[in-house]
Amino acid sequence: QVQLAESGGGLVQAGGSLRLSCAASGRTFSSYTVGWFRQAPGKERDFAAAISGSGGIEYYADSVKGRFTISRDNAKNTVYLQMNSLNPEDTAVYYCAAAMRGIAPMSGRYDYWGQGTQVTVSS
């Protein structure tokens, strides 16, 4: 069982940056792939980025590639999402999720979810 808690969301102007954190409970955190998803009002939850348990493999959606960077510190049971060059289309609730499977962009492959953190980008 893994419990996840996101933090770091907030209001930022277009072109700005934010770093989200996903803190996890559990002694086997390094066994889990962790993904970041986001859901804008009235839209489906979309994949943003994912990282393998060891941190050696990263995978990004085309919409965030080159602007977002996912990383993890297994000693701190935390995964980060550094978001740069933000634009209003990045406004959404951001969720982290964990899976005992290989890296994948499909939300259905993730077993544990946090409650989300709001990111709002003003123009």
Within 13 Å and on the Cβ side, how many CA atoms surround 121?
A: 18
3-state SS, one letter per residue, for 44-109: CEEEEEEECCCCCCEEECCCCCCCEEEEEEHHHCEEEEEECCCCHHHCEEEEEEEECCCCCCCHHH
The proportion of the chain whose per-residue pLDDT surpasses 90, expressed as a percent, equals 93
Q: Mean pLDDT in the chain?
A: 96
User: Helix or strand or coil: residue 40?
Assistant: coil
Summarize the confidence of residues 14-23 as an average pLDDT: 98
What tens digit of pLDDT does each residue of 23-38 get? 999 778 899 999 999 9
